Amino acid sequence: MSLLVVGSVALDSVKTPFGEIREGLGGSATYFSISAGCFTKVRLVAVVGEDFPAKHVAFLKSRGVDLRGLARAKGKTFRWEGFYGDDMNEAKTLKTDLNVFETFSPELPSPYKKTPFVFLANIDPDLQRNVVDQISDPYLVACDTMNYWISSKPRSLRKTLSRVDILFLNEGEALQLAGGSNLMKAARHLLSLGPTTVVIKRGEYGALLFRKDSLFWAPAFPLEKVRDPTGAGDSFAGGFMGYLSRRKDLSEARLRRALVYGSIMASFNVEAFSLNRLRRIKREDVDRRYKAFRGLVRF
């Protein structure tokens, strides 16, 4: 089944203790699409500027991403610049130039409006609801958010959460949105806002999947080297949603496997800058790491 993602396509400049990259391909929708594309067909909705390199468009097409929803507007492409210090779990933003992304208003091509699985990446919650309004009877809608929207548009965000099935966010964002200091209580509060499933990403400490009557934890896949964590959360969501969207099955067992696949795709992503690791992997690489993951946690 097809999977729709609405978010950003950007050019990122990133520096870590292991090197740096200038204006590499980035953006939430980009990382999500390449990760999810290992499992299913992905439809992307985003905007880029006149300066967006043709080679990046060609790469996305080569990975089977449907780009009918990628608009090219007059102006420059969204750019982000940041660095990671000793704490590779937290990026320090140096510069953000929204450019054409500042006036982004998602308009879905007609065929996209019947996509059964929808992922609303980290954009304004008003825009997230606008996308949901354009979809005809979706089977599942998931969304991501961030601390900026939690603090600047709390009411709008809560309206969005009342219309989604799965919420993705990191530990700090979960505590901020719930207004507490205990992760278990925070998750229960978030479930009361509308989602039936809450996924809390904890970086190198894995991820938690909360539902009304269950809790599941998956560790992060152990790695010898982490070169660039940029896009790890979006790659995680891509793996999760990509696997889940292969058929209409939201059983507990399938959701738990989706969490593991999310962790696996994030582990590939952080092994190189930009999408340089994800662009090289094949489905057999994913299956091999999934098998290794099962061996690590079996007892």
User: Closest Cα to residue 257, out of 241, 234, 278?
Assistant: 241
Task: Write down the residue that tokens 């102006």 correspond to.
Answer: 75
Q: Which pLDDT does position 117 carry in this prediction? A: 98
Structural domain contains residue 173: no
Structural domain contains residue 214: no
Q: Which pLDDT does position 97 carry in this prediction? A: 97
Going 298 to 263 to 117 to 246, the CA torsion angle's sign is negative
Structural domain contains residue 211: no
Return the percent helix, strand and coil in the chain, to nearest 5: 40, 25, 35
Domain count, the chain: 1
Q: What are phi and psi of 32, to 5 degrees?
A: -60, -45
Domain span including residue 145: 3-165+226-297
pLDDT tens-digit map of 141-166: 999 999 999 999 999 999 999 999 99
User: Closest Cα to residue 27, out of 17, 13, 42, 43?
Assistant: 13
Q: How far apart are the first and last CA of the chain?
A: 34
Q: Which CATH number do you get for residue 69?
A: 3.40.1190.20
In order along its 299 residues, the chain shows pLDDT tens digits of: 899 999 999 999 999 999 999 999 999 999 999 999 999 999 999 999 999 999 999 999 999 999 999 999 999 999 999 999 988 878 899 999 999 999 999 999 999 999 999 999 999 999 999 999 999 999 999 999 999 999 999 999 999 999 999 999 999 999 999 998 899 999 999 999 999 999 999 988 999 999 999 999 999 999 988 999 999 999 999 999 999 999 899 999 999 999 999 999 999 999 999 999 999 999 999 999 999 999 998 88
Structural domain contains residue 262: yes
Structural domain contains residue 217: no
User: Closest Cα to residue 190, out of 206, 215, 166, 216?
Assistant: 166
Q: Which pLDDT does position 161 carry in this prediction? A: 97
Structural domain contains residue 48: yes
Q: Which pLDDT does position 208 carry in this prediction? A: 97
Structural domain contains residue 251: yes
Structural domain contains residue 183: no
Q: Which pLDDT does position 86 carry in this prediction? A: 82
Q: Which pLDDT does position 266 carry in this prediction? A: 97
pTM above 0.85, yes or no: yes
How would you classify the pairing of strands 197-201 and 207-211? Answer: antiparallel
User: Closest Cα to residue 150, out of 186, 177, 181?
Assistant: 177
